[in-house]
Structure formats: C-alpha cells, structure tokens
Chains A and B, each alone.
Chain A
Amino acid sequence: MDSGSVVEPERYEEQHVHQVYEQIASHFSSTRYKPWPIVKSFLQSLPPGAVGLDVGCGNGKYLPVNRDVFIVGSDRSTNLVKIASQHQPHAAVVADTLALPHQAGRFDFAISIAVVHHLSTPERRREAIREILECLNEGGRALIYAWALEQKDSRRGWDEGHEQDVMVPWVMKTGKKNPNEDGSTEKTFQRYYHLYRSGELEADIVAAGGKVVESGYEKDNWWAIGQRDPGNKP
C-alpha cells in the first residue's frame, strides 16, 4: 500500500464522518436518548466499581445506565463530548478510535456502539476493534455494535446483495430564521457507513486478535461481545 492510500481513508472519514457529526451534534443528540436493550443489560450486569470505556460515545446516551461503574467515554467530536461529559459520575474526552489514550489491559469492559461502521477500510475497522480489545484486562468484555446490511424491514430497506459501503443522509432543519440561500429550511448531510453482513463483525473480532463470546442481531444491527484471546496470534 503506498502512502497515498494510507492518508486517503483518514481524509475521507474526516469529511464524511467527523465533520458531519461535529455539525449535526446538537440535533443528532436530541434524537439519541433511548438505550438499546442489549447494551442496557450489558451495562447493568457489571459489578459496582467496574471501570470501562465507551469508544465513540457520541452524546453519552449510555452513560446514565449504570452510575455504580466508571466509564471513560471518547469521541472525535468535541461538540458531542461536551454533551457526554455532563453525565455523572462518568467522564468523556476527545480522542480517535484508532489512537485511544488508554493503557493496555487496564479495563473491565468496553462498549462501542455504532462506531466501527464509520471506518472506511477493512484494515481500519479491524484496527479499531484491536485497539478496543487491547484495553481490556483478562476476562474483560467488549460489546460492539455495527449497522447491518440485512435490514429489509427498516425504512432504508437494505438487504443481502446490496452495496455495503453507503452514504446515508442526515436531514437537519435549519429553522425559518436561518434558511438556506434558496429559501429552503432543511440541510442534508451525507454520512459514510460500511454495512456489516452476517458473520462479518465476528470475523473482524477474530482478525483483530480476539475471540467472540456471544453475538446476535438487534434492531437492524449486528452485535458481538469480544474478549482478548492470548491464543489468537493472527
């Protein structure tokens, strides 16, 4: 791989993921408040005093689920981290999923919900999962969610056979006080997603040096719980 193609996905994600979230942060946050059931029960099952990570925490909607544990959330978007950092007793910092500011082997758990699907190459998605798994201690578990290709009953309607790399519009009302130049009051942002097909998330966890403890499908998403696997030397 030449240096040109190493830089490219980063710039691409900067434009089609990071800048979009930074601009839609507050509107996005107002639509993200209901925790998904499996994430909620994963967090509620943790013993008091457990310390973990929420990688790509967004507005921190999972932070209020359990106040007897300590979670350090991280996200690329400063505007979202400002919102997330208000959930006590937890914390949130601005960081890149591929360069987490955490020690290896230190954490009891991690969640990364709807994040790795924003990385635009297979190598970078696996690298993100590797980065998360490395933070876990022995027995530590990471719950990872990614948008599913197979969701024919959703309003997007994608299914097996569809292109997996897609642009998904986010429509934000600008309000009548701040109309666009043509007088319209909606602004559309395009976000990049890689839609995971059945089995792909589990394969990425194994490719990242981990093992899959449990996995499944919930609300148009694939999810998997991964652990570090000392016996897995890819």
Chain B
Amino acid sequence: MKVLTLNFLTCAVKACKSTSAAFPLHPKDCELVSDTLEANPKLLFNILPRIDWNALIITASELGFPTLPPTPPTPEQLENDPKMMQELHTLLLETQISEGSLVCANCSHEYRVKEGIANFLLPNHLV
C-alpha cells in the first residue's frame, strides 16, 4: 500500500470518521518495500493541492522519513527541482507498506496490512 493512499484513508468506524483523531491512521510495526514506478509529473503536480500536507508530514515522520517542509512545494518549485520531484515521487508512489497495521487514534482499532493489502472490514462489534 502506497504512502499516498494513506492520505486518503481514515477509520471505517462511523463514530470515528468525523473526529480529527481518526485521520491520519498511524502505521504500526510496518515493513516498507520500494517499487520502481515511472514518475508522472502531470499527476504529481496536480495532486499536490489535493494532499492533506499536515497528515503527510505525520505519516512520513512516523515511517522514519526525513522531515518534510511545513508547506507543500509549488508546481513551479517542483518543476525547477528534479531532485525534490524524485523524492516526492519516491515517498508518495514508490514506497509501499507491505506488512503491518494502521491504527486509529480515536478507537484504537488496528487495520492489518498483509502482502501490501490493507483490510478495513470491521469486526461485528464495531459495525
């Protein structure tokens, strides 16, 4: 599961969804693998404003990546900085959580990630 995906996931429990504690989910005991993926500048430039940057800062730091700048780079900055673009591409699209859990800070429920697939089906008592 990509780091980018984590930016668009929250706890599946209805009562959690509206709380700020449920987003982002927190990686726990996660193994990371790196995929090689061709960079698509058109996607990367345009998706930046759609990313919750503060959540990404938390996710990146919890996964052990170097601290991200407090605000996202502008498309112009990215265009003139191929290194920054490659780093963002690597973090968002190439870095995968292969095994581990994603934890909701509101209800403490842990969602398992197995073979890169996150499972959000809820046990009966949480539905």
A191 smallest CB distance to B (angstroms)? 19
The size bracket of the interface on B is 35 or more
> CB within 8 Å of A: which of B1-41?
1-2, 4-5, 8-14, 17-18, 23, 37, 40
Partner of B120, one of A49, A51, A88, A101: A101
Q: Contacts A94-B119, A96-B122 hold; do A68 and B43 have CB atoms under 8 A apart?
A: yes
State the CA gap A91–B40 with chains docked (Å).
Answer: 16
In chain B, what residue has the closest Cβ to A91? B5
A5 smallest CB distance to B (angstroms)? 15
Q: Contacts A49-B46, A72-B8 hold; do A103 and B17 have CB atoms under 8 A apart?
A: yes
B118 within 8 A of A: yes
Number of interface residues of A (CB under 8 A): 33
Partner of B23, one of A49, A96, A103: A103
Partner of A88, one of B37, B47, B118, B127: B37
Which chain B residues border A65 with CB–CB below 8 Å?
Answer: none
Q: Contacts A82-B117, A104-B17 hold; do A68 and B40 have CB atoms under 8 A apart?
A: yes
Which chain A residues border B116 with CB–CB below 8 Å?
Answer: 85
Are the CB atoms of B117 and A76 closer together than 8 Å? Answer: no
Which chain B residues border A88 with CB–CB below 8 Å?
Answer: 37, 93
A53 smallest CB distance to B (angstroms)? 8
A74 within 8 A of B: yes
Q: Contacts A99-B12, A102-B9 hold; do A74 and B43 have CB atoms under 8 A apart?
A: no
Which chain B residues border A170 with CB–CB below 8 Å?
Answer: none
A47 within 8 A of B: yes
Complex interface bits, B82-98 against A, C-beta within 8 A gives 1, otherwise 0: 00000000000100000
Are the CB atoms of B121 and A51 closer together than 8 Å? Answer: no
Q: Contacts A49-B47, A99-B122 hold; do A106 and B117 have CB atoms under 8 A apart?
A: no
B125 within 8 A of A: no
Q: Contacts A91-B1, A91-B2 hold; do A51 and B118 have CB atoms under 8 A apart?
A: no
State the CA gap A91–B1 with chains docked (Å).
Answer: 7
Are the CB atoms of A104 and B46 closer together than 8 Å? Answer: no
Are the CB atoms of B45 and A49 closer together than 8 Å? Answer: yes
In chain B, what residue has the closest Cβ to A49? B46
**Interface core residue of B1, B5, B11, B45 (most chain A CB under 10 Å):** B5
State the CA gap A89–B18 with chains docked (Å).
Answer: 28
Are the CB atoms of A72 and B47 closer together than 8 Å? Answer: no
In chain A, what residue has the closest Cβ to B10? A103
Which chain A residues border B93 with CB–CB below 8 Å?
Answer: 88-89
Which chain A residues border B11 with CB–CB below 8 Å?
Answer: 101
State the CA gap A139–B110 with chains docked (Å).
Answer: 33
**Interface core residue of A85, A94, A101, A108 (most chain B CB under 10 Å):** A101
Are the CB atoms of A51 and B8 closer together than 8 Å? Answer: yes
> CB within 8 Å of B: which of A65-88?
67-70, 72, 74, 76, 78, 81-82, 85, 88
Q: Contacts A48-B43, A70-B4, A70-B43 hold; do A85 and B18 have CB atoms under 8 A apart?
A: no
Are the CB atoms of A94 and B12 closer together than 8 Å? Answer: no
5 A-B pairs (CB sep. < 8 Å)? A72-B5, A72-B8, A78-B117, A93-B118, A101-B111
User: Top 6 closest A-B pairs, CB basis?
Assistant: A49-B46, A95-B120, A91-B5, A101-B12, A101-B120, A49-B47
| Apart from A49-B42, A50-B46, A96-B121, 4 more pairs, CB < 8 Å | A67-B43, A85-B116, A94-B121, A99-B127
